[in-house]
Amino acid sequence: MKKRIFSGIKPSGDLHIGNYLGAIQNWVALQEEYDSIFCVVDMHAITVPQDPATLRKRTLEIAKIYLAAGIDPKKCSIFIQSYVSEHAELAWILNTIAKIPELEKMTQFKDKSVKDGKESVLVGLFDYPVLMAADIILYDTQLVPVGKDQKQHIELARELAQRFNYKFGETFVIPEAYTKKESENIMGLDDPTKKMSKSAKSEYNYIALSDDAETVRKKIKKAVTDSGSEIVYSDDKPALKNLINIYSLLDNKTPKEVETLFVGKGYADFKSALAEVIIQFLEPFQKRMAELSDEKVLKILEDGAKKVQSIAKKKLEEVKKKIGFIV
Ligand code: TYM
């Protein structure tokens, strides 16, 4: 039996190459070997105030991004989270074994509390990691391919699965995070000490998956670099290391091979080559996205939901029986 992987992306804000390299690029490779389930997690997107029309548009857009990136609906199940109500039901049950201090430790809650005050945090945002745990363990997921920022949530999913198993008997598989060193934390182009982020203040922080060639050239030209002039891959040069990582991941080379390509050359040569590598990835990707009709994508999402629903239903029934519900 193939091992199962599950992952998802929130339809909130523009996706950037950090999301692609940290998550989707790995999914595309893993789908060959694993029983793969990829979700557009719309129920997570409503944990912050949002506009319904924009949410609808973004939900379809994320599904198109999955498909244009190479996720193959013949090999995987792709679906919208809110289509499968078992996610919400299991989250409620897990709420009854999750503890407030566990959720208070979560980075997103802490950041928002510091930034806007605890009073402004909605219960949905506070509880979001429990819903994420439900997403994962509902499918007996073994591996969860994500970026580094999600590892904390997967730790909680492991903890809740173990706690449930201990209280009610063996029910859930204990999931593990899957990350790759070079891609788990793509940093901001304007500040290599912080991760590339959808919610960054400056658009010079990220390359959006929707950026055109000119914008990419402009952003890479402005990207901060370290002191010195040689193209070296080293922890002492975090800005350059990040740019080399992006180059190597998009051009299927090791960081060492990228270094070798630029021996005797300076930052300007490296940056203009990097911009072209990004454009060579983005242009065909954007073309594939534009060719996908809403109808076709909706059909894929409905088929995907049907495929996963039977797994979700069976697992939830088992859970309900174990906790004493009459099913
Ligand atoms: P989200 O939507 O914020 O991010 C989607 C994916 O992109 C990764 N990522 C990055 N990877 C590398 N470098 C970066 N700078 C970077 N920024 C983002 C994230 O780690 C993530 O893998 N809670 C999740 C969505 C979710 C989920 C799930 C994921 C809900 N349920 C179940 C896995 C399994 C989130 O908000 O990701």
Mean pLDDT in residue range 220-241: 94
Mean pLDDT in residue range 305-310: 98
Q: How confident is the model at residue 198 (pLDDT cuts 50, 70, 90)?
A: confident
- Using the predicted structure, report yes or no on whether residue 156 has a pLDDT greater than 90: yes
- Using the predicted structure, report yes or no on whether residue 240 has a pLDDT greater than 90: yes
The pLDDT assigned to 307 comes to: 97
Q: Can you give the three-state secondary structure of the chain, one letter per residue?
A: CCCEEEEEECCCCCCEHHHHHHHHHHHHHHCCCCEEEEEECHHHHCCCCCCHHHHHHHHHHHHHHHHHHCCCCCCEEEEEHHHCCHHHHHHHHHHCCCCHHHHHCCHHHHHHHHHHCHHHCCHHHHHHHHHHHHHHHCCCCCEEECCHHHHHHHHHHHHHHHHHHHHHCCCCCCCEEECCCCCCCCECCCCCCCECCCCCCCHHHCCECCCCHHHHHHHHHHCCCCCCCCCCCCCCCHHHHHHHHHHHHHCCCCHHHHHHHCCCCCHHHHHHHHHHHHHHHHHHHHHHHHHCCHHHHHHHHHHHHHHHHHHHHHHHHHHHHHHCCCC
- pTM summary value: 0.96
- The answer to whether the CB of 157 is under 6 A from ligand 1 is no
- Using the predicted structure, report yes or no on whether residue 1 has a pLDDT greater than 90: no
- Using the predicted structure, report yes or no on whether residue 281 has a pLDDT greater than 90: yes
The pLDDT assigned to 273 comes to: 98
The pLDDT assigned to 327 comes to: 92
CATH 1.10.240.10 given to domain 203-289: yes
Known catalytic membership, residue 195: yes
Mean pLDDT in residue range 62-75: 98
Q: How confident is the model at residue 38 (pLDDT cuts 50, 70, 90)?
A: very high
Mean pLDDT in residue range 214-237: 95
CATH 3.40.50.620 given to domain 4-179+293-323: yes
Domain ranges of the chain: 4-179+293-323, 203-289
The pLDDT assigned to 199 comes to: 83
The pLDDT assigned to 63 comes to: 98
CA of 209 to the centre of ligand 1 (A): 15
Known catalytic membership, residue 320: no
* Tens-place pLDDT, residues 83-127: 999 999 999 999 999 999 999 999 999 999 999 999 989 999 999
Q: Pick the atom of ligand 1 nearest to 148's CA.
A: 20
Ligand 1 atom 4 nearest Cα:
9
Q: Pick the atom of ligand 1 nearest to 186's CA.
A: 13
- The answer to whether the CB of 10 is under 6 A from ligand 1 is yes
